[in-house]
């Protein structure tokens, strides 16, 4: 049954009780609205279509994001990047201000459209996956009776797989820019990177096809320079993997600053990303200056649209020239699905032409 009572001079409280269900209460400015809500709630209770929305209405999506970031994200391999994405969600003009009851597919679709003006469809799809995981988690852990609105939103086309490869000139300029900056007599630094590990980690990425996270997790006790292997106890797909090392890769390890203990590359994913971005910019500037000095036109695409992860494409393509057996190649790169390996193997047509004779 339902009761409507007046509260103060301008509010009406509707209360609906039914055996076996929690009492439902809501306050309205107008009596007609209170009566309408009470009738609708009674109908839901009678038809077993009742959904207790009180928790969802009182819980803000901002609180859900912060709790997930604090309690769940730190236990993931991608904790740093996921935390950055959650910070991005929290800065949105609309999403954080919504309650879980009002987090609708229309709001998620509007957010998707705003993001597509800034980033690619593939990036938006990854972010939608994170949002979906967060909503599903709070539904399970807090017993919220809400639909997952992300599942009802159309995802944008992911676009073509990346096939960016470095030219010999691009690689030369980039290596020069990533090299450690010399320290001048007055204590200032010359052109180059402040981080002595930046060029070595880039070289190893090109030699081994290891992912950024795998390179950063490397421990010296897992490196066997005599046997020319590097053991990865925990990889992206969850399997351990031992990576064979070329003579150039071994030389990189031997040249790294001593003592050779603990973490091989003592830097965070965020620090690497920012340092690599600064190195790219230095390389572009150096190339433009050299072109101007030589009186030739600079290539507008030179070192544009380059990411550190592109080293995995480049390395896989180079390794494929040495390892003709695809199973051997997948053992090095760590791909369990050969279809995924194909996305990383991008041979140059001119190289294939040479093989044809």
Indicate which residues carry an active-site annotation. Answer: 211, 236, 309, 312, 335, 344
* Contact assessment for residue 110 and residue 98, using Cβ atoms and an 8 Å cutoff: no
**223-224 and 24-28: which strand pairing?**
unpaired
Measured in whole angstroms, how far is the alpha carbon of residue 136 from the centre of its chain? 19
Quick one: DSSP state of residue 65? H
Specify the 3-state DSSP secondary structure of 298.
Answer: coil
* Contact assessment for residue 119 and residue 163, using Cβ atoms and an 8 Å cutoff: no
Tell me how far CA of residue 72 lies from CA of 59, 84, 123, 166, 330, in angstroms.
Answer: 18, 14, 21, 38, 32
Say whether the peptide bond before residue 44 is cis (omega within 30 degrees of 0): no
Sequence-distant (≥ 6) Cβ neighbours of residue 135 within 8 angstroms? 64, 103, 146, 148, 149, 150
Helices (H), 195-246: 198-208, 212-217
**C-alpha span between 70 and 83 (Å, rounded):** 9
**C-alpha span between 228 and 243 (Å, rounded):** 9
* Contact assessment for residue 168 and residue 141, using Cβ atoms and an 8 Å cutoff: no
* Contact assessment for residue 196 and residue 266, using Cβ atoms and an 8 Å cutoff: no
Would you tell me how many other CB atoms lie within 10 Å of the CB of residue 225? 15
**C-alpha span between 312 and 306 (Å, rounded):** 12
Best CA proximity match to 344, nearest among 126, 165, 78: 165
């Amino acid at each position: 049954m339902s009761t409507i009572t007046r509260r103060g001079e301008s509010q009406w409280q509707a209360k609906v009780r039914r055996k076996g269900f929690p009492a439902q209460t809501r306050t309205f400015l107008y009596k007609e609205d209170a009566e309408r809500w009470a009738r609708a709630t009674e109908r839901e209770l009678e038809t077993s279509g009742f959904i207790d929305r009180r928790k969802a209405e009182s819980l803000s999506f901002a609180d859900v994001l912060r709790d997930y970031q604090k309690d769940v994200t730190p236990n993931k391999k991608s904790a740093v990047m996921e935390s950055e994405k959650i910070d991005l969600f929290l800065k949105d003009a609309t999403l954080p201000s919504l309650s879980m009851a009002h987090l609708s597919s229309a709001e998620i679709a509007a957010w998707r459209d705003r993001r597509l003006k800034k980033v690619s469809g593939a990036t938006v799809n990854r972010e939608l996956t994170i949002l979906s995981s967060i909503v599903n988690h709070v539904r399970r852990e807090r017993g919220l009776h809400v639909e997952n609105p992300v599942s009802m939103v159309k995802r944008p086309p992911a676009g073509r797989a990346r096939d960016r490869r470095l030219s010999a000139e691009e690689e030369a300029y980039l290596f020069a820019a990533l090299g450690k900056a010399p320290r001048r007599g007055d204590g200032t630094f010359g052109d180059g990177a402040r981080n002595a590990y930046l060029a070595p980690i880039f070289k190893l990425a090109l030699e081994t096809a290891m992912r950024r996270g795998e390179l950063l997790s490397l421990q010296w006790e897992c490196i066997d320079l005599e046997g020319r292997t590097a053991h990865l106890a925990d990889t992206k797909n969850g399997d351990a993997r031992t990576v064979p090392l070329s003579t150039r890769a071994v030389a990189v390890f031997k040249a790294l600053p001593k003592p050779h203990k603990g973490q091989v590359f003592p830097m965070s994913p965020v620090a690497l990303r920012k340092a690599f971005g600064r190195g790219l910019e230095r390389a572009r500037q150096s190339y433009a200056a050299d072109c101007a000095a030589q009186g030739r036109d600079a290539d507008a695409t030179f070192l544009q649209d380059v990411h550190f992860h592109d080293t995995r494409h480049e390395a896989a393509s180079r390794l494929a020239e040495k390892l003709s057996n695809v199973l051997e190649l997948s053992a090095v790169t760590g791909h369990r699905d050969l279809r995924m390996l194909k996305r990383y193997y991008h041979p140059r047509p001119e190289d294939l032409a040479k093989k044809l004779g």
